[in-house]
Amino acid sequence: MLMKNKEIIKFIFALLFFIFSIVFKEYVLLYTIIGYLIISFEMIIELKDKIPKGKIFDEEFLMIIATIGAFILKDYHEGFMVMLLYQLGEIINDHAVDKSKEEIIKLMDLDTDTVTLSTKDGLTEIEPNKVKIGDIILVKAGEKIPLDGYVFEGSSNIDTSSITGEHKPRSVKIKDPVLSGCINLDGTLKIKVTEIYKNSTANKIIDLIEKADKKKSNTEKVVDKFASIYTPIVVALALLLFLVPGFITKDFSLWGHRALVFLVASCPCALVISIPLAYFVGMGACSKSGILMKNSNTLDKLLKIDEIIFDKTGTITEGVFEVVKVKGYGIKASELLEIAATCESLNNHPIALSILNRYGKDVDNSKIKNYKIVDGGITLSIDKDKYIIGNYNLLNKNKIDFERCLDIGTIVYISRNKEYLGYILINDKIKKNSKKTISLLREKGFNELVVLSGDNEEIVNDVVKRVGIKRYMSELLPIDKVNYLKTAHKEKKKTMFVGDGINDAPALLTSDIGVSMGGIGSDASIEASDMVIMNDDLTKIHTAHNIASFTKKIVIENIVLVLLIKLLVLTLATFGYANMIAAVFADVGVTLITILNTFRILKKRD
């Protein structure tokens, strides 16, 4: 802000001297030189520093050459006015760019200024960065949740749209996790903090958005390279425009003026500003839709992907196991489920938890003895009965006579005193949007879709059939997934890997674009991924591709618009039909137009 105010003050003082030069004509040279130095002195000093580095040819160099040339031709007011208008345009453009970044972060609306800390002594208002892990904070209805944690007391509905892009309220109760940046809609919540402010979800997102534009996309790099070649060519053309017709007509003043207009009109300011801004706004649009990108280059990469590879568990499926069938032999299904729940009550494995969840009642495990976790399951005793619970191999190894279940899923067999009691079939739920996502991606032209999973053949085959994917590989280790991606790269394929962000970190890092599902709360997922989908909705891949396509379209529109207008004004300047005002419009005016065009990206979603 201090730097901006300094530039505005310099402009005001320079403008005063410009007015003085018009009013007091006898001192026109003195006032124009003083005013010119006020507004351009830093540019001239910077130019001196750029010369040894070989970075002399930029838009500031063009402006200095053009305005000094005007002074040599004794067009004092015109040269001074061009520098004034250029600096005014820079102030306006800088303000527009900064404002756009502020608006994008404001659209996210994640941060909070104060936190209500709940202690034994009552409630205290403190800054978020002073809250410690384990503190209890109070969040009233209508307030933003300031820090990550879980509900310690109360229940409510929360608006998660700023984090996940999902506008449907989510119900939370005691022990449910909540993320900073979400809004508490109705009840009062007491939240136990699990992350300090620096590591909170909201702060991570804001930090990534603010830093994201520092990593340039391929298009931005091409524009920078273009500008570095374009500028010296323009200077050479302007020099030729001055010298060749000047020597022929002997009217160096006329052709010098045209050359100066040519120089001003040729400034690549609009490209240098609007292209990076378009990518930044594109990333902001993704963030608003619940898609977090680490750098603008991902937007370019999205449009070049040849093959999309999915992990299964937690990506296509929910990663939440549920009991789908209970089959007893000589025993009721309800009794079999009770036995299994009692036996599994000391186990925290997801399979065991799914059985306990299906049973849904308290169990008495006080009589369990000799509890032992073995390969493929557990063994234990209750009173005088000995139980073996586990997979096919475990029961087969213990020489228990039983009938193998041929259903697809994870099967838990139960025996008591070597007598087979039955089995429980458990499956992982397929996410509701998985099939829709595959359909949308095929419509986009993505035909190479693959599932790589560590699960067994039957389960993976069943899942891919249900979502519409033809290719898959099962029973893979993490290194196998990495090797698959390396082979794809050798075949010159651009790959996207979609996984859970933790178990699949090596594959996420190896692929051209790593996408983690719902991993915003995990440092591992942010580090390993290029893109994080914050609400586990696979259709966001389709949304991200749409935003990337529209961003590219806007970038091309801006480039074409800038080059056409500049070509027109440069042509007119060559033949004497364009003045300095037209030249400044071709630079500053076109920049403002491209900035306004760029903001259309924010409206693009699906």
- Whether residues 148 and 160 fall in one domain: yes
Q: Which residues pair with 378 in a beta bridge?
A: 373, 389
Q: Which one-letter amino acid corresponds to residue 389? A: I
Position 596 in a domain: yes
- Whether residues 228 and 79 fall in one domain: yes
Beta strand 513-517 with 495-499: parallel, antiparallel or unpaired?
parallel
Which of 400, 429, 458 marks a domain boundary? 429
Alpha-carbon distance values, 321 to 32, 378, 412, 567 (Å): 78, 19, 13, 63
- Whether residues 225 and 79 fall in one domain: yes
| Phi then psi dihedrals of residue 493, to 5 deg | -90, 140
Residues 429-482 pLDDT 10s = 888 899 999 999 999 999 999 999 877 788 888 889 999 999 999 888 778 888
Residues 311-346 pLDDT 10s = 887 789 887 788 989 999 999 999 999 999 999 998
pLDDT of amino acid 210: 60
Cα gap 277→263, rounded to integer Å: 25
Cα gap 302→298, rounded to integer Å: 6
Q: Which residues of the chain have pLDDT under 70?
A: 1-4, 50-59, 89, 93-111, 161-168, 205-227, 501-503, 519-527, 604-606
Cα gap 560→38, rounded to integer Å: 35
Position 361 in a domain: yes
pLDDT of amino acid 102: 62
- Whether residues 307 and 326 fall in one domain: no
Position 287 in a domain: no
Block residue for tokens 């004497």? 576
Q: Which CATH number covers residue 194?
A: 2.70.150.10
Q: Which CATH number covers residue 521?
A: 3.40.50.1000
**CB 152 within 8 Å of CB 136:** yes
Domain that holds residue 164: 115-209
pLDDT of amino acid 197: 86
Length of the chain: 606
Per-residue burial over 197-208, b if 16 or more Cβ lie within 10 Å, else e, is: beebbbbbbbeb
pLDDT of amino acid 215: 54
Cα gap 161→183, rounded to integer Å: 9
> Can you spell out the DSSP letters for 395-464?
HHHTT---PPP-SSSEEEEEEETTEEEEEEEEEEEEPTTHHHHHHHHHHTT--EEEEE-SS-HHHHHHHH
Cα gap 591→589, rounded to integer Å: 5
Residues 542-586 pLDDT 10s = 999 999 999 999 999 998 998 899 899 889 988 889 887 788 788
- Whether residues 24 and 98 fall in one domain: yes
| Phi then psi dihedrals of residue 460, to 5 deg | -65, -45
- Whether residues 99 and 219 fall in one domain: yes
Question: Is residue 190 classed as helix, strand or coil in its secondary structure?
Answer: strand
Question: Is residue 141 classed as helix, strand or coil in its secondary structure?
Answer: coil
DSSP designation for 165: S
**CB 238 within 8 Å of CB 263:** yes
CA-closest candidate to residue 14, choices 74, 72, 93, 67? 67
Position 12 in a domain: yes
- Whether residues 136 and 185 fall in one domain: yes
**What pTM did the predictor assign?**
0.70
CA-closest candidate to residue 537, choices 241, 291, 228? 291
Q: Which two tokens stand for residue 504?
A: 């699949």
Which of 429, 454, 478 marks a domain boundary? 429
- Whether residues 477 and 377 fall in one domain: no
Q: Which two tokens stand for residue 431?
A: 């996410």
Domain count, the chain: 4
Cα gap 415→423, rounded to integer Å: 9
Which of 209, 228, 259 marks a domain boundary? 209
Position 289 in a domain: no
CA-closest candidate to residue 533, choices 429, 464, 427, 434? 434
Alpha-carbon distance values, 276 to 19, 271, 283 (Å): 36, 9, 11
- Whether residues 537 and 454 fall in one domain: yes
Position 110 in a domain: no
- Whether residues 85 and 66 fall in one domain: yes
**Dihedral sign computed on CA atoms, order 312, 314, 317, 322:** positive
Cα of first residue to Cα of last residue in the chain, in angstroms, is: 36
CA-closest candidate to residue 300, choices 506, 553, 558, 104? 553
Position 554 in a domain: yes
pLDDT of amino acid 521: 46
Alpha-carbon distance values, 439 to 289, 309, 500, 511 (Å): 20, 15, 21, 22
Cα gap 71→35, rounded to integer Å: 13
Q: Which one-letter amino acid corresponds to residue 411? A: I
Position 65 in a domain: yes
- Whether residues 438 and 531 fall in one domain: yes
580: number of CA atoms within 13 Å, CB side?
20
Q: CB under 8 Å to 104, separation ≥6 — which residues?
A: 209, 280, 281, 284, 287, 602
Largest Cα span, the chain? 117
- Whether residues 7 and 101 fall in one domain: yes
Residues acting as catalytic residues: 311
Cα gap 101→112, rounded to integer Å: 18
CB atoms within 10 A of CB 491: 9
Q: Which CATH number covers residue 421?
A: 3.40.1110.10
Q: CB under 8 Å to 557, separation ≥6 — which residues?
A: 597
Question: Is residue 275 classed as helix, strand or coil in its secondary structure?
Answer: helix
